[in-house]
Amino acid sequence: MLAKKTPAREEAPDGGAGTRRDALGISRLSLAVGTGESEIPLLADVTVRVGRGETVGLVGESGSGKSLTARSALGMLPRGARATGGVTVSGVDVLAAGYRELRDLRRTRVSMIFQDPRASINPVRRIGDYLTEGLRARGVPARGAAEQALDLLGQVGIRDPKGAMGRFPHEFSGGMLQRVVIAGALSTEPELLLADEPTTALDVTTQAEVIGLLKEMQRAHGTGMLFVTHDLDLAAAICDRVYVMYAGRIVEESAGASLFGAPAHPYTRALLEASPSVHGGRAEIKAIRGRPRALAEAPSGCAFRDRCPLAGDECAETVPAHRPHGTSLVACLRPEQVTP
Amino acid sequence: MSTGDAMSTGDAMSTGDAVKAPVLSATSLVKRFGHVTAVDDVSFELMPGASLGIVGESGSGKTTTARILAGLEQPTSGTVTLDGRAVEGHSRRARLRQARRLQMIFQDPYGSFDPRQTIAQSIAEPMRLHAPGSRKEHRARVDELLDQVGLSSRAGQSLPRDLSGGQRQRAAIARALGVAPRVLVLDEAVAALDVSIQAQILTLLDDLRRDTGISYVFVSHDLAVVRYITDTAIVMRHGRIVERGETEQILRSPRHPYTRLLLDSIPSPGWDLDRVARDRRALDLL
Ligand SMILES: Nc1ncnc2c1ncn2[C@@H]1O[C@H](COP(=O)(O)OP(=O)(O)OP(=O)(O)O)[C@@H](O)[C@H]1O
Ligand SMILES: Nc1ncnc2c1ncn2[C@@H]1O[C@H](COP(=O)(O)OP(=O)(O)O)[C@@H](O)[C@H]1O
Ligand code: SF4
Ligand SMILES: [Mg+2]
Ligand SMILES: [Mg+2]
């Protein structure tokens, strides 16, 4: 059943905005909880696009708003949150959609995987039930669902899929269970996969295997993927495009490969300089002063200015608009001082 | 009194020929939990002022090794020698002696702070146990330590829950340094920190080692971090050491297929996942 899926499109990943609808379009999304004096802004002006079959990274330090952004694609907003802007998944207006419409969307066109596979699987149900349930909800008859589940387990590299169907989550290692979750997430052949740090809890060698599997499945199904990670190396290695978040905003959008060679935002460069690497010569690392901030506690104007080595008076005036620089779109007044 | 006291030649050496004698050595350490062998014949030496990395994946025995070094776990067999003396016994006296020379830093320092005590009080605590001096002297030393790890005196007056993860890790380092130990054992000490904060802690540790001549045993699953902070390293797998040497040498030309697999698994531009699969097959053939 996987074979009869339409093949992934062949065009350049960044090209197809016009012809086919995107897997995900978030435009100028702002989120806040609380009202009046006690209002807490969480996200501001977040614009993210994921084309069909495209892998798009969302990177940043903790509290920058990566998970909030990814979850908004499924209409999963914090309790009592108010949203402005637009979220469109496969043509559905998520912010306007009702409960049933969102449920159907999750069953058929969008899947999500999280860091901890044990959080997404009911511990007292067998793996087989977990997988067939999703398929049944999509209208696959019982017999067919069992066959498909077996097939999926084989595809994600579970040895003895028959035996695995009857086992419980605690009988699997973290890496193996994440494969099962991936099998479940892709069983509905979604147009969009939201992956929130899906390999962060895994060992590096297991991470490499799981990423290989994700990329392969994604290619076979033509699934668009939003990949959330705090690991710049990982994002640059597997993503067509990468968004860098800081304090609830997107500060840079760049082609995955050029993130390293030509960072445009001082924060992106600072992250790169702060990360030790196993590749190349043994380089010094440079610490960034201060600590990452949430939007609610960020300074006015450019949120990075209290940590930015290039900050000047004008950086305090307004939030810098996004503008093209090199192959990036960057929200900084002086990207030419980062990479000429 | 103890057998250790009779052979304290190591202490005499630490003034003269200090460079030659290891400050810490592990000899044929074995640790079994039931039928699981967590640590299997592990030996290494740490010279004064040196930094040794212990790398490997989860379950490879890194933490168990670190806990044995810190005297938090008794080895099934094998010995740890600290500052020229075998570490023996679980008596309070033996533990105090050990703690004066070796301190341990954990991944999440939150659990090791008393939630009702200010950071400054927590930092002063081991000092009261180990270092003679008046209350006032201790307070001055706490201020000095806070400053050394880059914490404000306001942070010193805070409760642990009011500090960020990076600040708590600084506080843990300050507390460990308070007894002027010769060795710090750090178990995944920067693993839970954001990149920018991790860099602050790593550079702090680097400066401290340069300034004080303290030695590190740095346990981590992260090869890039180990490359930055250590001179030599051992690679552990299933409780055993599969490779050892200078860190830079290990990374540049790994000899063991497992080390190669670890290295190739690290994402990079032009990441070759097929190569990772080949590495794994090579390892499985072993
Ligand atoms: N329900 C909520 N109510 C109030 N604040 C919230 C809520 N959910 C998230 N936040 C805040 O919004 C900010 C962004 O959170 P988010 O979970 O998106 O961060 P993240 O980038 O995914 O971080 P991490 O890397 O730690 O997962 C944080 O400061 C967080 O504390
Ligand atoms: N207290 C314990 N009781 C039983 N088994 C343990 C205990 N501590 C560790 N182990 C086992 O020993 C092995 C090594 O664990 P550990 O030293 O924590 O590895 P690492 O720190 O490299 O992840 C694992 O198989 C682990 O499950
Ligand atoms: S706008 Fe100013 S403060 Fe902000 S990143 Fe650019 S230079 Fe730094
Ligand atoms: Mg998150
Ligand atoms: Mg451990």
Kindly report the nearest CA distance between residue B118 and chain A, in angstroms.
21
Does B14 lie in the same domain as B83? yes
Alpha-carbon gap, residue B182 to B169, rounded angstroms? 19
Q: What tens digit of pLDDT does each residue of B144-194 get?
A: 999 999 899 889 999 999 888 889 999 999 999 999 999 999 999 998 888
Number of domains composing chain B: 2
Interface of B with A (CB under 8 A): 57-58, 164, 166, 194-200, 202-203, 221, 223-225, 227-228, 248, 251, 261-271, 273, 276-277, 280
Q: Is the CB of B49 under 6 A from ligand 2?
A: no
Alpha-carbon gap, residue A240 to A263, rounded angstroms? 15
What band does A20 get if pLDDT is binned at 50, 70 and 90?
low
Residue B205 lies in a domain: yes
B197 closest CB neighbour out of A232, A238, A291: A291
Atom of ligand 3 nearest to the CA of A314: 2
Does pTM top 0.80 for this prediction?
yes
CATH number at residue B234: 3.40.50.300
Does B102 lie in the same domain as B195? yes
DSSP letter for each residue of A139-153: T--HHHHHHHHHHHH
B229 contacts B199 by C-beta, under 8 angstroms? no
Is the CB of A204 less than 8 angstroms away from the CB of B221? yes
Residue B157 lies in a domain: no
Residue B141 lies in a domain: no
Q: What tens digit of pLDDT does each residue of B86-120 get?
A: 988 778 888 888 899 999 999 887 788 999 999 99
Does B198 lie in the same domain as B277? no
| pLDDT confidence of residue A268 | 95
Does B233 lie in the same domain as B188? yes
Is the CB of B224 less than 8 angstroms away from the CB of A204? no
Q: Which range has the worst mean pLDDT, A17-21, A42-46, A67-71, A79-83?
A: A17-21
Does B80 lie in the same domain as B7? yes
Does B274 lie in the same domain as B234? no
Alpha carbon distances (Å) from A105 to A1, A121, A193, A202 = 20, 19, 12, 29
Residue B132 lies in a domain: no
Q: Does the pLDDT value for residue A324 go beyond 70?
A: yes
Does B103 lie in the same domain as B28? yes
Does B197 lie in the same domain as B283? no
Residue B154 lies in a domain: no
Fold of the domain spanning A22-109+192-205+226-337: Rossmann fold (3.40.50)
Q: Residue B269 is part of which domain span?
A: 254-286
ipTM of the complex: 0.85
CA angle B61, A121, A123 (to 5 degrees): 75
| pLDDT confidence of residue A291 | 86
Closest residue on chain A to B222 (Cα): A204
Does B65 lie in the same domain as B85? yes
- Domain ranges in chain A are 22-109+192-205+226-337
Does B89 lie in the same domain as B39? yes
Residue B16 lies in a domain: yes
Does B259 lie in the same domain as B193? no
Kindly report the nearest CA distance between residue B183 and chain A, in angstroms.
23
Show the beta-strand stretches assigned E in A151-279: 192-196, 224-229, 241-246, 249-255
* Cα(A41) to centroid(ligand 2), Å: 43
* Cα(B39) to centroid(ligand 3), Å: 50
Does B280 lie in the same domain as B215? no
